[in-house]
Amino acid sequence: MRALLQRVTCASVQVDERVIGAIDGGWTVLLGVGLADTDAIADRLAQRVANLRAFPDAQGRMNRSLLETGGAALVISQFTLYADTSHGRRPSFTEAAPGDRAAPLVERFIAGLRALGIEVATGEFGAHMVVDLTNDGPVTFLVAQE
Protein backbone atom coordinates (compact mmCIF):
# COMPACT_ATOMS: atom_id res chain seq x y z
CA MET A 1 0.00 0.00 0.00
CA ARG A 2 1.06 3.54 -0.62
CA ALA A 3 -0.15 6.55 1.31
CA LEU A 4 0.57 10.10 0.28
CA LEU A 5 0.17 12.09 3.49
CA GLN A 6 -0.38 15.81 3.44
CA ARG A 7 -0.45 17.65 6.75
CA VAL A 8 -3.45 19.96 6.54
CA THR A 9 -5.19 22.68 8.51
CA CYS A 10 -8.45 21.70 6.77
CA ALA A 11 -9.59 19.42 3.97
CA SER A 12 -12.77 18.26 2.31
CA VAL A 13 -13.93 15.98 -0.47
CA GLN A 14 -16.90 16.43 -2.80
CA VAL A 15 -18.81 14.01 -5.01
CA ASP A 16 -21.37 15.47 -7.41
CA GLU A 17 -20.78 18.95 -5.95
CA ARG A 18 -21.74 17.74 -2.45
CA VAL A 19 -19.27 17.63 0.43
CA ILE A 20 -19.19 14.07 1.73
CA GLY A 21 -16.22 14.31 4.08
CA ALA A 22 -14.27 17.06 5.85
CA ILE A 23 -11.73 17.54 8.61
CA ASP A 24 -10.38 20.59 10.42
CA GLY A 25 -6.77 19.44 10.75
CA GLY A 26 -4.54 16.40 10.55
CA TRP A 27 -3.69 14.23 7.55
CA THR A 28 -5.19 14.06 4.10
CA VAL A 29 -4.34 10.49 3.12
CA LEU A 30 -4.36 9.58 -0.56
CA LEU A 31 -4.32 5.77 -0.39
CA GLY A 32 -3.27 3.40 -3.15
CA VAL A 33 -3.64 -0.37 -3.00
CA GLY A 34 -1.35 -2.70 -4.91
CA LEU A 35 -1.81 -6.25 -6.15
CA ALA A 36 0.19 -7.83 -3.31
CA ASP A 37 -1.44 -5.93 -0.44
CA THR A 38 -3.11 -7.76 2.44
CA ASP A 39 -5.09 -7.08 5.62
CA ALA A 40 -1.85 -7.21 7.62
CA ILE A 41 -0.29 -4.55 5.40
CA ALA A 42 -3.35 -2.31 5.80
CA ASP A 43 -3.16 -2.73 9.58
CA ARG A 44 0.56 -1.86 9.71
CA LEU A 45 0.08 1.17 7.48
CA ALA A 46 -2.73 2.50 9.68
CA GLN A 47 -0.38 2.22 12.67
CA ARG A 48 2.40 4.03 10.81
CA VAL A 49 0.13 6.86 9.68
CA ALA A 50 -1.32 7.32 13.18
CA ASN A 51 2.12 7.35 14.82
CA LEU A 52 4.23 9.27 12.29
CA ARG A 53 5.74 12.20 14.20
CA ALA A 54 5.27 15.06 11.75
CA PHE A 55 3.20 17.57 13.72
CA PRO A 56 4.88 20.42 15.60
CA ASP A 57 5.65 20.30 19.31
CA ALA A 58 5.92 23.40 21.54
CA GLN A 59 9.29 24.23 19.97
CA GLY A 60 7.94 23.92 16.43
CA ARG A 61 9.77 20.65 15.72
CA MET A 62 8.07 17.78 13.93
CA ASN A 63 7.82 15.64 17.03
CA ARG A 64 4.14 14.78 17.58
CA SER A 65 1.90 12.19 15.96
CA LEU A 66 -1.70 12.38 14.81
CA LEU A 67 -2.61 10.41 17.94
CA GLU A 68 -0.84 12.92 20.18
CA THR A 69 -2.37 15.98 18.53
CA GLY A 70 -5.94 14.67 18.37
CA GLY A 71 -6.01 15.40 14.64
CA ALA A 72 -8.24 13.71 12.10
CA ALA A 73 -7.68 11.94 8.78
CA LEU A 74 -9.42 12.43 5.46
CA VAL A 75 -8.85 9.18 3.55
CA ILE A 76 -9.25 9.17 -0.23
CA SER A 77 -8.66 6.05 -2.33
CA GLN A 78 -6.29 6.80 -5.22
CA PHE A 79 -5.25 3.97 -7.52
CA THR A 80 -3.04 6.37 -9.49
CA LEU A 81 -0.39 6.07 -6.74
CA TYR A 82 0.46 2.77 -8.46
CA ALA A 83 0.89 4.33 -11.91
CA ASP A 84 3.90 3.26 -13.95
CA THR A 85 5.01 6.25 -15.98
CA SER A 86 8.38 4.84 -17.04
CA HIS A 87 7.35 4.00 -20.63
CA GLY A 88 5.55 6.00 -23.24
CA ARG A 89 3.21 8.89 -22.55
CA ARG A 90 0.28 7.04 -21.01
CA PRO A 91 0.47 5.69 -17.44
CA SER A 92 -0.02 1.99 -16.84
CA PHE A 93 -1.93 0.79 -13.78
CA THR A 94 -1.14 -2.92 -13.92
CA GLU A 95 0.29 -2.87 -10.37
CA ALA A 96 -2.85 -1.31 -8.86
CA ALA A 97 -5.30 -3.72 -7.25
CA PRO A 98 -8.67 -3.97 -9.00
CA GLY A 99 -11.60 -2.34 -7.21
CA ASP A 100 -13.04 -5.55 -5.78
CA ARG A 101 -9.72 -6.26 -4.02
CA ALA A 102 -8.80 -2.67 -3.19
CA ALA A 103 -12.08 -1.50 -1.61
CA PRO A 104 -11.97 -3.93 1.34
CA LEU A 105 -8.34 -3.00 2.05
CA VAL A 106 -9.15 0.71 2.02
CA GLU A 107 -11.96 -0.03 4.49
CA ARG A 108 -9.56 -2.10 6.61
CA PHE A 109 -7.10 0.82 6.72
CA ILE A 110 -9.90 3.21 7.73
CA ALA A 111 -11.09 0.79 10.43
CA GLY A 112 -7.52 0.55 11.72
CA LEU A 113 -7.31 4.33 12.17
CA ARG A 114 -10.73 4.46 13.83
CA ALA A 115 -9.78 1.62 16.20
CA LEU A 116 -6.95 3.85 17.42
CA GLY A 117 -9.45 6.60 18.20
CA ILE A 118 -8.76 8.78 15.18
CA GLU A 119 -11.66 10.66 13.61
CA VAL A 120 -11.80 9.64 9.95
CA ALA A 121 -13.69 11.23 7.08
CA THR A 122 -13.67 9.54 3.68
CA GLY A 123 -14.30 9.96 0.03
CA GLU A 124 -16.36 7.53 -2.04
CA PHE A 125 -14.47 4.56 -3.47
CA GLY A 126 -14.46 4.62 -7.27
CA ALA A 127 -16.20 7.98 -7.59
CA HIS A 128 -14.90 11.07 -9.30
CA MET A 129 -13.97 13.29 -6.35
CA VAL A 130 -12.87 16.87 -5.87
CA VAL A 131 -10.47 17.20 -2.95
CA ASP A 132 -9.87 20.61 -1.42
CA LEU A 133 -7.14 21.05 1.18
CA THR A 134 -4.86 23.54 2.81
CA ASN A 135 -1.43 21.96 3.10
CA ASP A 136 0.24 22.98 6.36
CA GLY A 137 3.95 23.63 6.01
CA PRO A 138 3.78 22.36 3.32
CA VAL A 139 4.45 18.91 4.75
CA THR A 140 3.98 15.89 2.48
CA PHE A 141 5.24 12.31 2.85
CA LEU A 142 4.97 9.21 0.71
CA VAL A 143 4.68 6.21 3.05
CA ALA A 144 4.81 2.72 1.54
CA GLN A 145 4.04 -0.46 3.46
CA GLU A 146 4.91 -3.68 1.70
Judge whether 141 counts as a catalytic residue. Answer: no
Phi, psi of 97 (to 5 degrees): -70, 140
| Candidate list 9, 38, 80, 140, residue with the active-site label | 80
Catalytic residue flag (residue 78) = yes
Give me the catalytic one of 28, 79, 109, 145. Answer: 79
Biggest CA–CA distance in the chain, Å, is 48
Whether 125 is catalytic? no
Catalytic pick among 6, 14, 28, 78: 78
What is the total residue count of the chain? 146
CA atoms within 13 A on the CB side of 25: 13
Residue 6, beta-bridge partner list:
28, 140
Instruction: List residues with catalytic annotation.
Output: 78-80
